[in-house]
Every structure is written in C-alpha cells, then in structure tokens.
Chains A and B, each alone.
Chain A
Amino acid sequence: MATIRQLKRRIQSVKNTAKITNALQLVAASKMRRAQDRAEQSRPYAQKLRVVLAGLASQSGEDQDAARHPLLVSRPVNNIAVLHITPDRGLCGGLNANMNRSAGTFVAMQHEPVQVVAVGKKGRDFFVRAHVHLAAEFTDLGDYPSQADTLGIARLIIDDYLAGKVDRVYVSFPEFVSTATQRPAIRQLLPIEPPAPVDGVDEAQFADYIFEPSPDVVLAGLLPRYIEMQIYEAILQNAASFQSAQMVAMKNATDNAQDITRELTLTYNKARQEQITKELLDIVGGAAALEG
C-alpha cells in the first residue's frame, strides 16, 4: 500500500492535471462558439449558391452533353484524389482516430491509385505512416481559417482535375453534427454533382432569366466557386468539430480527475486515521507497560 506521503503527492498531481484540463476546456468552449459562428455566417452564401447551381445545371446540362462544363463531366476513373481534412492538434478524444480510420478504409477500398491532399497535421501524419502518396499538404490554418486561406487548396484541386491528373476527387472531413457528435464524412467533390433541387424552389424558375453575359459564362464562374465554397465549409466544420471534441474530451478529463481526487483523498484520510490509531495504541500500550 502507498505511503501517506506518496498519496499526498498523487493527489496534488491529479489536482494539477485537472486545473490544466479545465483551462483547456474553457478555452475550447469559447473558441468553439466562435468557430460555430463563422460556420453560421457562411451559410447564406452556401445556400444561395446551391439553389442557383441546382437550377442552372438542370437547365444547361441534359440535352447537350458534349458542351457541358469540364467540371461537370464524369470521365473514366484512372486516378483518385482524397482531400483529407483533420485538425492540427490532438487532445480531442477520438476525433482524429475516427477521421483517419474512416479515410484510411476508404482509400484502401479504392481499386484505382489514390493520392491524398492533407489539410491538418493529424491526417497528414497518418497517411505518411501508411505510405500513401501525399500530393500536397496544408497545415497550420489556425483556429479560424479565412476563406482566403482555403482558396489555394481549391485552386490545386481544380487544376489537378482539369489537367487530368485525377479523375475523381473526394473530400473527407469531420462533419459537425452537434457539440457532442462529430461524424467522419466523405463526399464527392469532382466531377460536380449538381445539388439536388431544394424544396420549394421551382426548377424552371431560371428559364425566364436574363443572363449576362450568357448562361454558360455564369455557370463557368459559379462552378469553381462551388468547389471553393464546399472546401471552405468543410474546413470550417473541421474547426468547429475540433473545438467541440476538445471541449468534451477535456470536460471528461476534468471530471475523471475530480473522481480520482475524491477516491485518493478518502484513501489518504483512512491511512492517516489508521496511523493515528496505531500511534495511540502504542502510547497506551507503553503507558500500561510502565504502570504494570
């Protein structure tokens, strides 16, 4: 059994850990709020872009397949790229492990050669260890990535696709469901599958539009922005997911530390009591021996 002094030291150590995890929890909570706020702010743009694109693509596509925009054309798949978005740091529970498992399984399932574009250190390190070809990596985007930070990523993806280096591109990112739940998600980025028409929006509403300069030019401008927007959204969700996962993980750690402190304190008090009793008995025994 541990000595009283050892117990005392352990209690102090656990308390110190709890202080750190508690501080990290508070920091994560406030950063999470801001990250969620940013995701919220980007929603109107994303929604509008989806509606317009759904309407436009359903119009200009079908009848003239040859004239379709290259970002919309699906071609035989020889090479695949996966844009794997993860946090830079750990201490966020199972988030990174779940992300890497999901993307790793996905990559392993493909029959064609896969290259990975990693955003975030945790995903990058995983694929480096797994010896998967990394085409590019982007790290240290910070807690609140700006759209400008993500444009280069979109540029790289689109250029590679248009140059024929890859024929299909997926994005893997931690989908922010709620503060308690983040789900690894994998979506197809390219070729663009136009978003399904939104409820309550008339598909034919774009038929009577005036387009300046022309529908094709407008569509050609919208498509790259749709990619940019999806990547930006995924990166925002990654930021929000990381902060909330960290907050929850740190809350659990703090709670656990408090439980341990309570148990250890109990053990410590018992041991202390025992020793006092023992000393008392010694004194009483000694006194009795003298008297006798």
Chain B
Amino acid sequence: MPLTVELVTAERVVRVEQGVDVLVVPGSEGQMAILPHHAALMTTLDPGELVMRRAGQEDAFAVTGGFLEVRNDRVTVLADAAEPFEEIDATRAEAARARAEERLRLYREGRAGDVDVARAAAALQRSLMRLRIVQRRRRPGPPRV
C-alpha cells in the first residue's frame, strides 16, 4: 500500500497526497527516504527539500524544519513553513541570504553586539536551502534527488 502524505503548517494545509511511493525528507539525523510499510517513527526535520514521488511524478517542497510522524503508512509532516518548489521566490531568498551573511559578517568583525547569531545563521541556512532547491530543479535535464 502506498503512502498517504499530509504536509501541513500552522497557517495552511500545503498538500495532501495519496499514493506516494517514496517520500524523501530532510531528517535532523540526515536525509532519509520513507517507503511504504515503514516502522512507526517520530523525528525532527531540518531545513531542506522534501520530495514526494508517485507514478513517475515528482513534487518538491522546501521545508524550514518541523516534525514528521509515520504510522501505518500515513505520514504527517508538521512543518514550520513549507512551500511547493514552484512557489519559491528566488529573489526573496537571495535577498535573505545577503542580509543574513551581512549580519554574520558584522558579528565576526565584532561591530554589532546586538546581532542574534543563532537567528542569522538559521536564516542563512533557510535561504541557502531554498536557493539550492531552485538551482537544482530549474536546471535542464532529469531531476535528481
């Protein structure tokens, strides 16, 4: 029996998909693929790319962290934020990356005491993740995961 995947955030239901053959997620312990008949699992997610594959079709999403639960071939992803890769705004991500790098640079040079390093680093990680997904997906040729 294929997987039923629910991808939800606090703001909206991003996608509910049935008949998913493989689900690739950015687990906090490393990327992992979830196949049907997976054991019950509860894990935290890192920012990264989430891919649903079914019947030769592939849907990619950017998630910025959250939780994943697998039980009886039902997968629930509680994402902090998630968007289909088509909706990723590369310009915005690029701006966010530049901003975060600037903050980190200021901090390294000791010129800004009020920079929240953890937040800037997290923002950098998220923007890089979105840019990476966009770059990989929009290149011609067969998509890789």
Contact = CB atoms under 8 A, between A and B. Distances in A.
B43 interface: yes
Q: Which 3 A-B pairs have the closest CB atoms?
A: A212-B43, A41-B12, A45-B8
Interface stretch (B34-42, B55-63, B103-111, B120-128): B34-42
Contacts, number: 71
Given A38-B11, A48-B8, A218-B43, A205 B71 contact: yes
A221 interface: yes
B10 A232 contact: yes
Interface in B27-85: 27-29, 39-44, 67, 69, 71, 76, 78, 80
Contact of B42 (A42, A45, A147, A210): A210
A200 interface: no
B8 A44 contact: yes
A217 B67 CA distance: 11
Contacts of A208: 40
Contact of B12 (A42, A210, A215, A225): A42
Contact of A211 (B9, B12, B42): B42
B10 A45 contact: yes
A217 B28 CA distance: 11
B53 to A, nearest CB: 22
A156 to B, nearest CB: 14
A218 B12 contact: no
Contacts of B67: 52, 218, 221-222
Interface string A182-226: 000000000000000000000001101111110101100110010
A143 to B, nearest CB: 15
B43 A44 contact: no
A24 B10 CA distance: 30
Interface residues of A, number: 29
B13 interface: yes
Interface of B: 6, 8-13, 27-29, 39-44, 67, 69, 71, 76, 78, 80
A14 interface: no
B129 to A, nearest CB: 17
A240 to B, nearest CB: 15
A217 B44 contact: yes
A229 interface: yes
A42 B11 contact: yes
A52 B10 contact: no
B29 A44 contact: no
Contacts of A147: 9-11
A228 B43 CA distance: 19
Given A52-B67, A209-B40, A42 B10 contact: yes
B78 A210 contact: no
Contacts of B13: 41, 44-45
19 contacts: A41-B11, A41-B13, A42-B10, A44-B8, A45-B8, A45-B13, A48-B8, A48-B69, A48-B78, A52-B78, A205-B40, A209-B40, A209-B41, A211-B41, A212-B29, A212-B44, A213-B43, A217-B44, A221-B44
B107 to A, nearest CB: 20
